[in-house]
Amino acid sequence: MGVRDSGRLADGVVLSGIAKSFGPTRVLEAIDLAIEGGEFLTLVGPSGCGKSTLLRIIAGLETADAGSVAIGGRSVDHLRPDERDVAMVFQSYALYPHMTVAGNMATPLEMRRLTLAERLPLIRHLSPRRPRVMRGIMAEVRAVAETLQIAHLLDRKPAQLSGGQRQRVALGRAMVRRPRVFLMDEPLSNLDAALRVHMRSELAELHARLGITFIYVTHDQVEAMTMSSRVALMDQGRILQLGTPADLYDRPATVAVARFIGSPPINLLEGEADGTGGVRIDGVRLPIAPGVAAGTRVTVGIRPEALHPAPARHDGPVLRARLKRAENLGAEWMLHATLAGAGDAPLVVRITAAEHDAAAAAGLLGEDLALAVAPAGTHLFGADGARIAVRRLAGVA
Amino acid sequence: MRPGRLIGRIASHAVLLAGAVVMAAPFVWMLLTSIRPPEEVFGAVFDPIPSRFAGVENYGQALGASNLPRAMLNGVIVCGGILAVQLLTAIPAAYALARLSFRGRGLLFGLVLFGLCIPIQVPALPLYIALANLRLLDTYFALMMPFFLTVFGLFLFRQFFRTYPEEILQAARLDGMGEFEIVWRIAAPAALPAIAAFSVFSVVAHWNDLYWPLIVVTSSERATPALGILAFRDAETGGNYGALMAAAALITGPMIVGFLVARRAFVRGITMTGVR
């Protein structure tokens, strides 16, 4: 939990029973979510899952059909967006195109500190107070611009900036307000790959420095995994799982979570419980299903790094596969294979370069591939998609 | 360049040139007539070049023997007044129709489209009677009032505002702007090309308008430019075509200069609003 420089605790956000429909389409179904003060919470999910709508409801840009939003322990349902003390960074950055960078960043402060008359053209010059207020605003704008390293761009218009620079201006416009909560809607999706990786670490640093609550929306599970203190994975208007990135990766609650988190994606194999604590996949028995009735259809999820080329004398269960293609990524290799037998299910195996070289030297990487299954990355899901507790496999890999 | 392409370009330029000649010929003829001596205007011999330069007497007559300077000042007042009220009303209304959701929006926009189909001649008589009853005939207000609300401008600006990014408007709301401030501080500056295009349309139309001033204006103090030209055609001056054309040249001059200055913004405004 982070603390602001003023010393007071950062504000949490509590959503209770948020529901929203657009016409006949249910976008959000009674979302309950408690976001702790100072947390970096990411809403992640495929496009159309309702995550952006939820963010807009927190900001007050959309109204929920039902439910309530509280920030810092007080309901904000009746407050206008600007009264909620939240700042938002948009996917398109949403900079005012006719204003300079300085003008863009000063606008939220001008709106708060100047009266309507002091903002009107011509009339504003009658105010004796205005020059002093504007000097104060510009000093703050400059200070924020310097921390973001965009002070040299203050006189430019957004059209003269690169994507990364616009991104920083959008962050700066949100930061000058010193909001209680920072909302971000896919802020990195318009950047090129290298800059995206760089901005990921900058955003994480910014969060650590400001210590305020961040709510971040993305469809990219890598962004969710790398920056967040907790992740809420959403699909079809529901939160499928809420937890730390490690929770979601190591203990996915449903097959949908397992499928969404992880790159390359988890290998999913259809099998049948044999009633004696094992699952049969194409004739191979994996002893991982204690207490599951015989004949139950189950889905076995195996992370790519949980599969290893098996030595010839391997005493654990082994999946037989046909190697199709091997990709060298430098530090590691991806082996693309299909499961031998009727299914022809695709399998991806991720091994380190050292393991690859050793396996290749031992002649294990022929067309016929034997794959040992490591227990830690193996997950079992019932027919309804829910997780079934997996007993650790003993003596494998 | 390949011969085929060369021929194609020559052909397309020939067509464009022909079009330009058709467009420009009346203006050239107007300018030539304005420096032609009166006896030559209906001369039997067709000679484009005047035999004698009569520009000084024609232009002198146009400026001196009539109220043309006053008419042009009236034109500036009337066109400026109409344009100011049109922009003040059409921009917020167009923003509301394009970006705010409220009951009856579809019906209101339908009425706007309906209004586009009604020419000024239809409400002219009721408007005249109303102005007469209010004893407002022969005033600047009577000249301007029917054109204060512009459905064409409303439609043009609505098309523009519809394409404006929603996220910028939401950012402005988060920054604390109300909808009126969004209109004037965020949306209107972005609409400048559309505003320039509309201003050209509006000013040209009302500068050149003859129909409505002819109905509501009786005194020469309130004559608009088009009425000013009309003075050269009455019995007193006996149809002095040289001076008439000189007056016409003086009146169209500001419009042509204005268009050339605003040309780039005008073309951009027309193309970006999709009203091609």
**Res A396: pLDDT:** 41
Residue A180 has pLDDT above 60, yes or no: yes
| Buried/exposed code over A224-254 (b: 16+ C-beta within 10 A; e: otherwise) | bbebbbbbbbbbebebbbbbebebbbebbbb
Domains in chain B, number: 1
pLDDT-derived band at A5 (thresholds 50, 70, 90) equals very low
Give the residue from A250, A281, A303 where a domain finishes: A250
Q: How far is B174 from chain A (nearest CA, A)?
A: 5
Give the residue from A207, A224, A250 where a domain finishes: A250
* Residues A96, B181: C-beta atoms closer than 8 Å: no
Provide the residue range defining the domain that includes A212: 13-250
Query: Domain for residue B201, yes or no?
Result: yes
**Res B236: pLDDT:** 57
* Residues A90, B173: C-beta atoms closer than 8 Å: no
Query: Domain for residue B53, yes or no?
Result: no
Residue B240 has pLDDT above 80, yes or no: no
Token code pair at residue A339 = 């499961």
Mean pLDDT, rounded, for A27-36: 94
Helices (H), chain A: 51-59, 101-113, 116-119, 130-147, 163-175, 193-210, 221-227, 245-250, 255-260, 353-361
Mean pLDDT of all residues in chain A?
Answer: 89
* Residues A91, A95, A101, A107, CA torsion sign: negative
Mean pLDDT of all residues in chain B?
Answer: 86
Adjacent-strand bridge partners of A18: A31
Question: Is the domain of A243 the same as that of A318?
Answer: no
Question: Is the domain of A297 the same as that of A193?
Answer: no
Look up the ipTM and state it.
0.81
What is the CA angle A6-A9-A12, rounded to 5?
130
pLDDT above 90 covers a percentage of chain A that reads 64
Chain A residue numbers touching B173 (CB-CB < 8 A): 61, 80-82
pLDDT tens, B127-145?
Answer: 999 999 999 999 999 999 9
Q: Kindly report the CATH number assigned to the domain that includes residue B236.
A: 1.10.3720.10
* 3-state secondary structure at position A205: helix
* Residues B168, A61: C-beta atoms closer than 8 Å: no
Residue in B167, B177, B185 closest to A94 by CB: B167
* 3-state secondary structure at position A181: strand
Residue A366 has pLDDT above 90, yes or no: no
Residue in A87, A97, A116 closest to B174 by CB: A87
pLDDT-derived band at A70 (thresholds 50, 70, 90) equals very high
CB pairs A-B closer than 8 Å: 56
pLDDT-derived band at B275 (thresholds 50, 70, 90) equals very low
Identify the residue among B160, B164, B167, B174 best suited for mutation to test binding to A, counting A beta carbons within 10 A and taking the highest.
Answer: B174
Domains in chain A, number: 2
**Res B243: pLDDT:** 82
Give the residue from A194, A220, A250 where a domain finishes: A250
Question: Is the domain of A281 the same as that of A350?
Answer: yes
**Res A335: pLDDT:** 94
Q: Kindly report the CATH number assigned to the domain that includes residue A275.
A: 2.40.50.100
Question: Is the domain of A269 the same as that of A221?
Answer: no
Q: Do residues B226 and B252 make contact, with C-beta atoms less than 8 angstroms apart?
A: no
Query: Domain for residue B245, yes or no?
Result: yes
What is the CA angle B107-B112-B113, rounded to 5?
95
Question: Is the domain of A50 the same as that of A152?
Answer: yes
Residue in B167, B170, B176 closest to A112 by CB: B176
Residue B244 has pLDDT above 90, yes or no: no
Integer Cα distance of B57 and A181 in angstroms:
77
Integer Cα distance of A96 and A142 in angstroms:
18
Question: Is the domain of A194 the same as that of A245?
Answer: yes
Adjacent-strand bridge partners of A243: A231
Question: Is the domain of A138 the same as that of A34?
Answer: yes
Long-range CB contacts for residues B131-136, cutoff 8 Å, separation at least 24: B131/B216
Mean pLDDT, rounded, for A225-238: 94
Query: Domain for residue B57, yes or no?
Result: no
Q: Which residue of A has its CA nearest to B169?
A: A94
Query: Domain for residue B36, yes or no?
Result: no
Token code pair at residue B31 = 């300018």
Q: How far is A289 from chain B (nearest CA, A)?
A: 50
Query: Domain for residue A4, yes or no?
Result: no
Query: Domain for residue B1, yes or no?
Result: no
Provide the residue range defining the domain that includes B233: 65-272
Identify the residue among A52, A79, A90 best suited for mutation to test binding to B, counting B beta carbons within 10 A and taking the highest.
Answer: A90
pLDDT tens, A279-310?
Answer: 888 778 888 777 778 888 889 999 999 999 98
pLDDT tens, A263-273?
Answer: 899 999 988 88
* Residues A61, B174: C-beta atoms closer than 8 Å: yes
**Res B235: pLDDT:** 54
**Res A179: pLDDT:** 92
Chain A residue numbers touching B177 (CB-CB < 8 A): 82, 111
B171 close contact with A: CB closer than 8 A: yes
Question: Is the domain of A129 the same as that of A229?
Answer: yes
The chain A residues in contact with chain B (CB within 8 A) are 56, 59, 61, 80-82, 86-88, 90-92, 94-98, 107-108, 111-112, 116, 119, 173
Mean pLDDT, rounded, for A142-171: 93
Token code pair at residue B118 = 């009604």
* Residues A90, B171: C-beta atoms closer than 8 Å: yes
* Residues A81, B189: C-beta atoms closer than 8 Å: no
Strands A279-281 vs A267-273: parallel, antiparallel or unpaired: antiparallel
Residue in A82, A91, A116 closest to B174 by CB: A82
Q: Which residue has the higher pLDDT, A378 or A20?
A: A20
Token code pair at residue B39 = 């006896």
Question: Is the domain of A280 the same as that of A370?
Answer: yes
Mean pLDDT, rounded, for B234-251: 76
Q: How far is A112 from chain B (nearest CA, A)?
A: 7
B101 close contact with A: CB closer than 8 A: no
The full DSSP string for A131-170 is HHHHHHHHHHHHHHHHHTT-GGGTTS-GGGS-HHHHHHHH
Residue A241 has pLDDT above 90, yes or no: yes
Identify the residue among B101, B175, B183 best suited for mutation to test binding to A, counting A beta carbons within 10 A and taking the highest.
Answer: B175
pLDDT tens, B89-100?
Answer: 999 999 999 999
Mean pLDDT, rounded, for B66-70: 83
Question: Is the domain of A227 the same as that of A365?
Answer: no
* Residues A96, B174: C-beta atoms closer than 8 Å: no
Question: Is the domain of A89 the same as that of A134?
Answer: yes
Helices (H), A251-378: 255-260, 353-361
Q: How far is B99 from chain A (nearest CA, A)?
A: 14
Chain B residue numbers touching A111 (CB-CB < 8 A): 175-177
Chain A residue numbers touching B186 (CB-CB < 8 A): 96
CA distances from B128 to A98, B83, B142, B217 (A): 44, 21, 9, 11
Residue B255 has pLDDT above 90, yes or no: no
pLDDT tens, B7-53?
Answer: 999 999 999 999 999 999 988 888 888 888 877 777 666 677 777 78
CA B185 to chain centre: 27
